Amino acid sequence: GESVGLHLPTLSVQEGDNSIINCAYSNSASDYFIWYKQESGKGPQFIIDIRSNMDKRQGQRVTVLLNKTVKHLSLQIAATQPGDSAVYFCAENTDAGNMLTFGGGTRLMVKP
């Protein structure tokens, strides 16, 4: 029979377009957030992080926006490339230690 698994939201974009991946986090006390990229057959790879005292942080082709009022995090990828195709996870730090709570992930597909 057909296997049932997690249904990952999928974002399909054209190469060269900008991508926006959204994440709603759960704990208003979270003070540190990370975006990870996971390519097929590999472990999650750190992309960019942001602390709760910031609203925006930019990296190379990526920008993370944090809206604490509505507990929303987004990852913007400029000029999306085929190599950006992957599953993207947001994660929040919810305690004083280093434990992270991960979101379910969004699959980004880049059409050439």
Q: Check binding of 5 to another protein (CB under 8 A).
A: yes
CB 59, CB 48: distance < 8 Å: yes
CB of 56 to another protein, least distance (A): 19
CB of 61 to another protein, least distance (A): 19
Q: Which residue lies nearer to another protein by CB, 5 or 83?
A: 5
Sign, CA dihedral 86-109-107-63, equals positive
Torsion of CA 31, 90, 19, 85, to 10 degrees: 150
Contact positions toward another protein, by CB under 8 A?
3-6, 32, 34, 36, 42-46, 49, 89, 91, 93, 97-100, 102, 104-105
